[in-house]
A and B are shown apart, each in its own frame.
Chain A
Amino acid sequence: MSDSDQFNGRMGLIFASIGAAIGTGNIWRFPRMVGANGGGTFLVPWLFFLFVWSIPLVIAEYAMGKRSRTGTIGTFRIFAGRKFAWMGLWTAWISTAIGFYYAVVSGWTLKYFQLGISGALTGEKVDTTEVWNAFLQSPGQVIFYQFIVVLLVLGAIWKGAKAIEKVNFYLMISLFALLFLTLFLSLWMDASDGSLDGALFMFTIDFDMLFEPEVWINGLSQSAWSCSAGMGMCITYAVYMRKDEDTVLNAFTMGLANNSISIIAGLAVLSAIFAVNPDPLATVTGGSSAITFLALPEVFAQAPGGAIGPLFMMAGFFLALSFAAITSMISTVELCVRNFVDHGYDRERSVLITGIAIFLFGLPSAVMWIKLDSAGVAFPEFLEVQDHIWGYGLMFSGLFIAFSIWKYGYIKWRKQVDEGTAPDGLAGYMGLGVSAFRDDFINTGDNDLEVGRWWDIMIYLAFPILFVVLMGSYFTDMIANTENVWDPANPKGLSIILLFWGVVAVTFMFLNKFLIARPLFRNIPEGADVDISSLPGGDDELVVALGDVVPGFEHLAAKETVLEAEITG
């Protein structure tokens, strides 16, 4: 048996990836976007960008992780070159920084499951705003549930890939079941008032809105965020792929499954709200997590079936929500842990350290700056500011992935030009360079599906254009709608974002030399084709397979071997 850690089966990879992709974004952001962007109209760009943005990036991530067999830092060290290991650090950092507050948010969902199951939200005179404010304003409660989430996540990933696989499998299956239960009750509610207007709204195209750029930009952003594409999650899980695993079909399966869940969750939420709310769109387009915790309990409390229906609906929905949050949290923590393990730290210690860090650095988000908005609803401003700063940093991770691919294509093409086997100039690059990555790392013969030239076009043309459109429209909107947007002391301004990004990026570039001075241990399954010699980082002597001994770092290898032996034994 090799030292490497792998998923048992193909379904393990898919469930883990789906678990990472499906988060609160599918369940509370998606219905809001549908509401705000003309119902069925929104589905058009949203589906379009699934194939144009999300799936091509996931394919790239799988292919890179499968070949590098390391986490994000190692992957960029190998694929982009030694100078660019910091890009992997950026990817890991953004994901971890989001994890700090995401654990808090996951805690909220758990709390609401507890409230739901105990019937505290279904009474006659429940004021959901009061419940929400009381919860958010009691630090002990928020921290307690945050702590529970961190514990659950640590437990789930303690033992590595096989445990992650199992946990994700059970949670995802349960999530499907719970969402179907909620959907069933929602449709029942919606139909019982005479019309399925929620469902109709969700699937009816408003052709005027279809041509509004805003709807398309929203579709792109929903697709980019909710699918986890470009965030490094799929790189991380690809490390545990079996040696001859498919990349393309898995990417399609994962993307489509993610969108399926969105549709089910969207239908459930919209139907329920349309069934009982006199002005459903005003409610659903409000933004803010608080809407989920204020409006939905009110709506669910009116479910049919006496006392049981509301209870089932409430508990089921929030349990599903917490499962979605926790599986995303698992991938976040695993992404960080994998990077430690790659660099020779033993797994259990890495898990512990990451867990403690996630908990400690999440505390400010849990308790600091709990404010009331103009409507008297509590919201965590520190958490919001964190999201504001790091949320869009994710897009750069995607850009870095694309950069690696462009670079590989360029190197390959230059080499052939020097050998005289490829034409020079842009035409030459377009002819050879753009397809080099696809030929060498995606269509390797392991795939059920081969990916065609469309993928090259997406990565080389569509991706950079969409990236610019997305960031450009976001910044333009922010500048137009934020007061004192350039004031660095304004936590919702632009200067603060650029400042934090700048400081982090510069710090990481500086740290790069320390990163590449350490050996990198690749998690290679026995007999896998993981040749990296043609890659920019392929000649790095410190990049070795797990279990190999690197001169000067004997202590690392020794410990790892013992640990692996324990696990696999």
Chain B
Amino acid sequence: MMPTATQTSHLVAPRPSLGFLICLPLLLSLASPVAGSIAVAETGIESTPESTWSSEYVAYEFPWGGDEAIQFKEYHTYESMRTRMLRLAEDNPDIASFYEGLNGGMNARGQETTEDTYKGWYYGHASPWMKITLGAQDGDYNEFNGDTGNYEDREDVLVVGNHHAREWMSYEVPMFMIETLIWSYDNIGYDNDGDGKVDEDPWGDSNGDGILDDDGDCLALDEGVQDSDGDGIKCGPGDLGVDEDFSEQTLHDLVNNREIYIVPMLNVDGNRYDREVYCGETAWENCATSGWRKNLRDNTVTGITPLPDLDEQVDEGCDGVDLNRNYQFEWGAPLGATGPLIPGACYAGQNNDVYNGPVDTVDQDNDGRLNEDGVDGKDDDSDGLVDEDWLGGNSEPETKFIQDMTEMNDDNNNGGSDFPVTLTWHSFSELILYPWGHCQNCDNPDQEQLKYHGDVMATMSNYENMQSSGLYPTSGDFCDWHYGLFNSYCYTMEIGNAFHERPENIDDILLRNIGMGMYMIEIADNPKERADLAIANISQQNYLLQPTMLSIPEEGDVPIDICINNLFPYSLENSEVKWRMVKPSRLQSDYGPREWSTTEWTTASVKRVDEACTTGNGNGTLLRAMIPVSESTTGELHYKAMVSTLSGTDFYQYPANGEYYTMQITYRAAFGNFFGAMFMFTVVATFVWGGLAVALRIMLNPEEKEDVVSEGDLRSAVEGELD
């Protein structure tokens, strides 16, 4: 070691040696942080979840972190759910906003309401809800609803959970939708299961081979661990490795193109009562298939005073209205719902659980007749007005909230609802129900189409798809109202096998159901047309040409072709090809792996070209986009297509699930021309070698300056070096 100052110099104050000081920071270089591991493809036979996926995925840990409730390992309470929704809206103001109830005002049927109109009778909460759409704060303002994220050109989707207080999974699923939508935005290409592959197993059977596990990773497990959710079905929905790696790109696009309204807990009153009083916090122990169902209307005093007496304790044998019997369409049809025989008196008995609310006592049209034209979309009394003096229904704060929100959400002012698609979560029975509910053996006008979408979702969840009244008739439910009045494609999902599922099953039940929710959002552009085209086997025939089927021309733009079935009603204007380039980055590291830089997705319009193409069931039309890639570009061209129908927006994606094709682009330009090269060579040679020659000449010429080196030429200069 070199001598230190303290050893060698007693004359100066002790100080660290210079050498030591210079060496000190060397240690810094060893303190570099641990590098992120680079995924290396592993080979070998994998047979356990632990060896196949990341430990986070195997433990059903969701990437957004958070406590047990946020991780869906225990149930949210109303408070924790509300807090979480507030937080999500606060952290993601660009795509999400939080509301409770509505502002009120003059509603669509001419009634004055206030924000109090929508607060629960007993605990006084308005139902919390979120609006998820790009620019959630920057759209048109709906004064009545209080919502700042309205866009005329986006389709709206309404998702409602927890009509029935005890059906706890029915608010967990929409919460899970909220978390997933928000997290997926700007997290495109996330490897959800940590297997090194991205978006390889989207919801449902994406390749049509009848197997849900598209990437086969669950099926590759040892048989004993294939049923990780314990529902008796191996590699079924909810099992590890099934539909586990969906496309964040698709969700991202949905948030950009839809207005998504999610009301996870409609019946806050009832839910609090069920949890805090009726069943208790561990309801799955004592209330697995029972519990409080209705809201907390005070039926014992109804009719004596118009307002319930809030001081009164809940009379469990009597109080409450079944919210899902309180919508007005065909309200009062004597099927699956009961009304009190004598208004104001409590109608005791088992069917009290489906009490549909009080009979209306107002002559809405002031014609002296009461309740002569109930809500059914028809002019029952032939007076030229439709549904103007109803029998009842819409009597509860919660149903008023849904009905007013729907009727007042009319961005395009066409008098209808803006929800082409509506969805409500319930428990239990593992069913998908579509209208009608109020009548048996009565097809609705969209029977075939509603059945089609239900069948698709049944594949995703392994649930049974049936008409609602096929299970049992219900009048005044959410879906009959939405479909009956607004032709909204509406489904009631009956989740799981208990009202209060055990907490350890929350996460796998969520995974089994979420795909259906996202599917509904996706088809909202035109659910009927989508069904028609799919039933006729038309939309499945369109395809984007793969790189091997395309040829890159010697010069000019690169053509990308889409083959469209001749029966498909495409819109040239709204169909497009999206593309981006991945080029070697300017930030090439001298020693690391090759670095790439990726451009943003760019849109190219398509034109019809007069070339035929063949689809699976006949001839097709070729649409072509010209991608402006210069001849001197090298790298990868990523491309995908969005094909729009004449009526819809842009959600026929090819390839599906937010994927894209990759085309290798090689250098196409000429490598140079002789004369240009000669010229440049001359310039460079003159500057560099000519300059060098001049410099050496001056240097070696002794006459230029007397004290220059004395050697006469390069040879002697060189010899001078060697002596």
Contacts and interface: CB of A to CB of B under 8 A. Distances in A.
Interface in A379-393: 379-389, 391
Interface string A283-309: 001111110000000000000000000
Interface in B629-662: 630, 632, 634
A287 B594 contact: yes
Most buried by A among B11, B25, B30: B25
Interface stretch (A370-378, A405-413, A459-467, A531-539): A370-378
B718 A11 contact: yes
A290 B594 CA distance: 9
A448 to B, nearest CB: 5
Contacts of A253: 692, 695-696, 699
A11 B721 contact: yes
A496 B9 CA distance: 39
B594 A343 contact: no
Contacts of A100: 26, 29
Interface string A68-111: 00000000000000000000010011001100110001000000
Nearest to B37: A371
Most buried by B among A40, A204, A343, A389: A204
B708 A448 contact: yes
A198 B18 CA distance: 51
B709 A10 contact: yes
A373 B40 CA distance: 7
A203 B677 contact: yes
Most buried by B among A252, A488, A504: A252
Nearest to A389: B32
Interface string A196-211: 0111111111101100
B680 A384 contact: no
Interface in B660-680: 666-667, 669, 671-674, 676-678, 680
Given A253-B695, A285-B584, A477-B587, A8 B721 contact: yes
Contact of B721 (A92, A169, A504): A169
Nearest to B585: A481
A285 to B, nearest CB: 5
A480 B717 CA distance: 52
Interface string A408-436: 00000000000000000000000000000
A218 B585 CA distance: 12
B556 interface: no
B671 A511 contact: no
Given A288-B594, A379-B591, A89 B707 contact: no
Nearest to A377: B593
Interface in A437-492: 446, 448-449, 474, 477-478, 480-481, 488-491
A286 B37 CA distance: 22
B40 A371 contact: yes
B8 interface: yes
Given A29-B590, A36-B584, A203-B672, A256 B666 contact: no
Interface stretch (B173-181, B357-365, B395-403, B682-690): B682-690
Contacts of A256: 688-689, 691-692, 695
Given A282-B667, A517-B15, A372 B688 contact: no
Interface of A is mostly: helix
Given A200-B674, A203-B681, A491 B35 contact: yes
Contacts of B630: 208
A552 B12 contact: yes
Most buried by A among B586, B588, B630: B586
B208 interface: no
Contacts of A491: 32-36
A76 B28 CA distance: 23
A287 B588 contact: yes
B677 A40 contact: yes
Interface in A314-355: 336, 339-340, 343, 345, 349-350, 353
A62 interface: no
A391 B587 CA distance: 12
Interface string A173-214: 000000000000000000000000111111111101100001
B689 A92 contact: no
Given A496-B33, A552-B12, A47 B687 contact: yes
A372 B36 CA distance: 13
B22 interface: yes
Contacts of A197: 671-672
Interface of B: 2, 8-9, 11-12, 15-16, 18-19, 21-26, 28-30, 32-40, 584-595, 597, 630, 632, 634, 666-667, 669, 671-674, 676-678, 680-681, 684, 687-689, 691-692, 695-696, 698-699, 704-705, 707-709, 711, 717-718, 720-723
Given A93-B22, A340-B18, A481-B597, 19 more contacts: A8-B721, A43-B680, A43-B684, A204-B677, A204-B680, A205-B676, A205-B680, A217-B586, A246-B708, A249-B695, A263-B684, A287-B589, A287-B592, A345-B2, A372-B38, A373-B592, A374-B39, A385-B35, A480-B597
Interface of A: 8-12, 15, 24-25, 28-29, 32, 36, 38-40, 43, 47, 89, 92-93, 96-97, 100-101, 105, 165-166, 169, 197-206, 208-209, 214, 217-218, 244, 246, 249, 252-253, 256-257, 259-260, 263, 274, 279-282, 285-290, 336, 339-340, 343, 345, 349-350, 353, 357, 361, 364, 369, 371-375, 377, 379-389, 391, 446, 448-449, 474, 477-478, 480-481, 488-491, 496, 500, 503-504, 507-508, 511, 514-515, 517-518, 552-553, 555
